[in-house]
Amino acid sequence: MRRAFLAAVAAVAAAAVLILGNAPVAAQTYPIHPIKLLVGGAPGSVPDLVIRPIAERLSSALGQPVVVMNRPGAAGSIAIELLVQSPADGYTLAVATMSQAVFNSYLFSKLPYDPLRDLEPVATLVIGAMIIAAHPSFPADNLQDLIRLAKDQPGKLLVAMPQWGSPPHVVGLLLARSAGVELRFVPHKVGPEALNAVLGGQIPLLIDAPTAISPQVAAGKLKALVVTGSRREAVLPGVQTALEVGLNDLEGEAWIGLVAPAGTPRELVHRLNRELSLILNAPDTQALMAKFSFRSLTKTPEEFRALLEVDHDKWSSVIRGGGLKLD
């Protein structure tokens, strides 16, 4: 009887160790098999180009493959829906653009996920501003000139941009609200179509990322009027930010981050965050991201969640105020 009692006590103790010690052990051994990384854009899209070199470096750091899986469609919602349906075990992650994690909540009436409820913020990756540019014949050379023209011609100035509801479009709405002007936004299927419309003189203004605009400025085919970010762009050092010219409300930068399903163990999230911070702060990664006109953005998971909450407050009013809906 004594032996049986001692054996039972030992079994209970062993079970308690397994239960209580499971989380630390998981953190120490994670990962033990490949990680899936969902991308809501097609191969060659901006999120895809950004994440592939980062995923390669993360694979080396973790000792397991990080397999990029493209699931484009529905403004990135397909990829995020697949993510939130996956086990919260650290083995399925997703790239989250600002569109997927913020804008879509207000662009779609029935989004199949709630970013603030269903996503576990892992790490911010990169951030970049927009450029407002014009055809060389346009009679404005800076933001102040543009605002004066727009006030003289309310609703008549055309602005080319990528798809309806894209970050350039939403930042354009912020410009119109901040400056108190009315602009007409002209969406295109892809960014290059919007660029060609301005290069060809059909539309006078363009809003897009620096990578699309800076080569044309260097060639004299476009002139850059203003940067929407918190700092000047390295590729366009002579172009002022909106903050520099006194439009303090016009700060619009698009970020990309990495998320997991809600409930993913905290220790796994922080392990991924630490590895990604090292990768993003490495000079070679920063140089590579600069080629896409992004700069590395490192935040803790808690800081990333705070960013999500702040951006939901900011951009919801812009999108709703502009009457913008995609369904």
**What pLDDT digit, counting tens, does each position of 76-103 carry?**
999 999 999 999 999 999 999 999 999 9
**What's the pTM?**
0.87
260 and 191 in one domain? no
Which runs of E-coded beta strand occur in 6-118?
35-39, 66-70, 92-97
Query: Which residue segment(s) compose the domain that 179 sits in?
Result: 131-227
195 and 173 in one domain? yes
258 and 118 in one domain? yes
Task: Specify the pLDDT at position 26.
Answer: 60
267 and 196 in one domain? no
156 and 119 in one domain? no
58 and 118 in one domain? yes
Number of domains the chain is built from: 2
137 and 122 in one domain? no
pLDDT in tens, 212-230: 899 999 999 999 999 999 8
218 and 78 in one domain? no
137 and 117 in one domain? no
Task: Specify the pLDDT at position 17.
Answer: 38
Residue given tokens 């969406």 in the structure block = 187
203 and 189 in one domain? yes
Cα 219 to Cα 178: distance, rounded to the nearest angstrom:
31
**Last residue within a domain, chosen from 227, 242, 273:** 227
Cα 38 to Cα 79: distance, rounded to the nearest angstrom:
6
**Residue 68: inside a domain, yes or no?**
yes
Cβ-in-10-Å burial (0-12, 13-18, 19+) of 296 comes to buried
The pLDDT of residue 4 is above 90: no
Cα-based distances in Å from 250 to 30, 237, 278: 43, 19, 31
